A and B are shown apart, each in its own frame.
Chain A
Amino acid sequence: MTDFPRWKYALVALVLLFGIVYALPNAFPPVPSVQVAAIHGAVVDTALQQKVAAALKQQNVAYSDLALDGDRLVADFANADVQAHASDVIRTAVGDNYTVALNLASTVPGWLRAIGAKSMPLGLDLQGGVHFLMAVDQNAVIDKQEDRYTDDIRSLLRQKNIRYDSVARNSQRGQGVAVVLRAAADRNAASAAIAAEYPDLNVQDGATTGDRFVLNAAVKPEKLRDLALGAISQNVGTLRNRINALGVSEPVIQQQGDNQIVVELAGVQDPAEAKRIIGATATLEYHPGIGFPGDPRAVEAARSGNVPPDARLYYERGSRRPVLVSKRIIVTGDELADAASGVDQQSGAPKVDVTLSAAGARKMLDYTTANVGKPMAVVYVETLYDTKIVDGKETRVPRVSEEVISDATVQGVFGKNFQTTGLATTKEASELALLLKGGSLAAPVDIVEQRVIGPSLGQDNIRKGFRAVLLGLGLVLLAAAVYYKLFGLVADIALFFNLVVLLAVMSLIGVTLTMPGIAGIVLTLGMAIDANVLICERIREELRNGSTPHAAIRAGYEKAWATILDANVTHLIAALALTTMGSGPIKGFGVTLLIGILTSMFTSVTVTHAITALIHGHRKLKTLSV
């Protein structure tokens, strides 16, 4: 007789198989590696591989592997120290046309990777690196908007011939712009004009004293909120671009809360360098174009080096085609108010809508009035810092990178608002919009928290955490087996599988393993056994009350289940609250606990029930070993 249905055996077997397969990748520790990728149109090929091999050999740097992996070259090293030294050697050897990044290369076998199994990424506390928490200055966002509207309203009133005394920002931030007019009629006209032109403003009549008629125009709260959110995501985007360009592999760049951004760079040990990457300044300039990218004059200039005196030679981002651009600047990024990508209603082609400030609009109007049909280029100027070894000493060299990110023909006369079309894909459009904004709008960020964790500390933590898990598991296994005998051993098997399934789920979801996460694993192991304690105690009780062994098992599982469910749901509520706590350590712990409670409900009840049924199912029993 068995009261355990066959499909449940199948389920248990499937889950255990899933657990083993997906937890397996964690048994293959990643090795420190350096990866080389091409930028500026260079190629990664066997020639590069030989060059790197020769450089490493010359400097006596031992590597365990050096191979091409798609469009990257990956070299593996024995430990983090060798890796750091090697990256310096390789950087010097390959030159400026490649990015060299520290990385951890996976050693997980291909067949596992093919089914989506991967090892858990390690948190900074387990592998070393730098961590930044940055707060975005939301006040600056408001300041910028209010300054811009002050400017815009002034020129709007002038344009509409409405006489005014003054247009100025209210002294309190967020209160908007105060316009002082001389007559009630003027105020009405101004109110109507502003409301029509700027739907994002709330226009209200203010106090009237003598011949001073005040009109208040404040940015709508929802618009401010949008701007604040926009500033964050834009900053995240800009940071991502910069950090990617600098070749730090797998950086973590995330929004946290309303106005914070977390940046974690594994492997980087120098916060000053990271800060320079993050703080790199970028600006935009609109220049009159001379010809188009790749036209014969530009190619000739690039070949011979003879650039006309009033022009500059740039390369276009992506295509790397040379282009000549006038030295004259039409507007700069400071005068760009907004840029958004979209789709053109008529043609369906991707486009970028650009909005300029009032001052920028005047300059743009002046230029386009005289230059319809001529090209206009956007130059993106970014200042980055490289670390180079000069005479055996590390020195920092500022490098200004200037690229043309857009070159288009002026189709008509425009000022404040215009569109850039002729973009190949919507992705290209959104990238351009991001770059346009990234060069100008990003609200200043303030670093409010920074940590540097040395690689040796990380290894130390991993070792200690691993040992704590093993010892904790071992002690519970021993205690359960001693106290509950055969049923304890069954619970032990389930507990071990709980660890396996927990690791599998965490790996599959891609939970970053941190030290608090390890503490969560140990706690989960300690608490998962509770379900088995409940079941075993119930079975003992049933036996004492005179039930037969089979009836005791059945009643034990049935009665304990209600208790286990209630106890675990309340525990889940606590774990859920932990995961909503924004900050790293608590969240890592909460997520582990949450997954652990769910997996333990399955392993402690269903898995042990299956094993118990297998052992006792078809035998006549006189006693139970519990």
Chain B
Amino acid sequence: MEIFNHNANVNFLGMRRLSIGIAVLLVLASLALIFTRGLNYGLDFTGGVLVEVQYQQPADVGQVREALAQGGMETAVVQSLGGTRDMSIRMQPTPAMRDVDGKVDLDRVAAVIGKALQASRPDAVLKSRSSVSSQVGAELRSDGSIAAVFVILGIGIYLWVRFERRFAIAAIVTEVHDVLVTLGVIALVQREFDLTVLASVLAVIGYSINDKVVVFDRIRELFRLARKAEPEEVLNRSINNTLSRTIITSLFTGITMLALYLIGGPVVHGFAITMLIGIVVGTLSSIFVASPILLWLGVSKQDLMPRSKEDPELARRP
């Protein structure tokens, strides 16, 4: 079975002004979203208390919010954990949740929230409760950024050594694009940004670079094989040759993440959805963004010939 016409030769590089223009717009829009709307940081990052509640009968988020407001907890963030019976409630601890020393006491947290919920719905049962101090969250945010920078730089250095400087730069720029656009979408839909989502964003970098390397590899191969290598044509052919693989792999990985999203439960919801967004962004950028950058950086056949040809003896001959 084949979905793609293997003779297709779409001129992807021909639309590079348009594709890069859209990519730049997306990055700018994402940055604007991240800085104006901000990420909806989860408990791990903001600190506070979180409880997971299960209702015996279906309940809706508004109802839970109202019950909490009745109990004096107006600022609580209530989210459905998929379905109508499981909810998560997140908030900064109220004075009633602290013990005599001012420390958060999970038993008190459970008592205060449980009482407020059961006042209107006696079928509410608390399934888990957590408390995180804000200091932990601040550390995490810096750790996460450091990890992302480390990943991007590490990959850049590897590509520099294995390929060439221009490939490393193109990969890093595209990676930054992918991460920002993924974060932009998360900011747009205000999906809760927790630890698993952070893990997923880092995994998106891994996935997306995997995708780019396959195209880069083909570019190197075609440059080396071609007698007369017109860069634009070589890049176009590389994208077209690997197109079916690029799309099939993202479909295959996508369906596993879809399975995880559909039945993996609330814990991995954020992970799966972020990964799905990242797969779409990463696949598109492999096709439309990475290669135009490479072209602009001026990649050429000479840069990619095996080292042995750069023998100084040969260079000195007329």
Interface residues of A (CB under 8 A from B): 125, 133, 135, 257, 271-272, 447-454, 456-457, 460-461, 464-465, 467-468, 471-473, 475-476, 479-480, 482-485, 515-516, 518-519, 522-523, 525-527, 529-530, 533-534, 537, 540-541, 544, 559, 562-563, 566-571, 573-578, 580-583, 585-586, 589-590, 593
Contact = CB atoms under 8 A, between A and B. Distances in A.
A533 B199 contact: no
Nearest to B244: A537
Contacts of B132: 133, 448-449
A593 B253 CA distance: 14
B296 interface: no
Nearest to A577: B151
A583 B148 CA distance: 15
B279 to A, nearest CB: 9
Interface in B58-111: 103-107
B203 A578 contact: yes
A523 B195 contact: no
Given A471-B263, A475-B256, A574-B206, A581 B144 contact: yes
Given A133-B136, A271-B107, A447-B103, A516 B210 contact: no
Contact of B159 (A450, A464, A570): A570
Given A457-B127, A533-B245, A571-B209, 7 more contacts: A515-B196, A519-B260, A529-B253, A530-B249, A530-B252, A567-B217, A586-B195
B140 interface: yes
A516 B268 contact: yes
Contacts of A479: 251-252, 255
Contacts of A562: 217
Nearest to B241: A541
A293 B306 CA distance: 80
Give the residue among B140, B154, B214, B264 with the most A Cβ atoms within 10 A: B264
A449 B131 contact: yes
A124 B171 CA distance: 38
Contact of A573 (B104, B151, B241, B252): B151
B217 A449 contact: no
Contact of B128 (A452, A475, A582): A452
Contacts of B264: 464-465, 468, 518-519, 522
A438 B196 CA distance: 36
A472 B256 contact: yes
Interface of B: 1-3, 6, 44, 52, 103-107, 126-133, 135-136, 139-140, 143-144, 147-148, 150-151, 154-155, 158-159, 162, 195-196, 198-200, 202-203, 205-207, 209-210, 213-214, 216-218, 221, 241-242, 244-245, 248-249, 251-260, 262-265, 267-268, 271-272, 275
A578 B202 contact: yes
Leading 10 A-B pairs by shortest Cβ distance: A574-B206, A526-B256, A464-B265, A526-B253, A472-B256, A451-B130, A468-B264, A472-B259, A471-B259, A448-B133
Given A573-B151, A589-B196, A593-B206, A522 B256 contact: yes
A186 B106 CA distance: 57
Nearest to A576: B154
Contacts of A468: 259-260, 262-265, 268
Contacts of A589: 196, 199, 203, 271
A284 B310 CA distance: 74
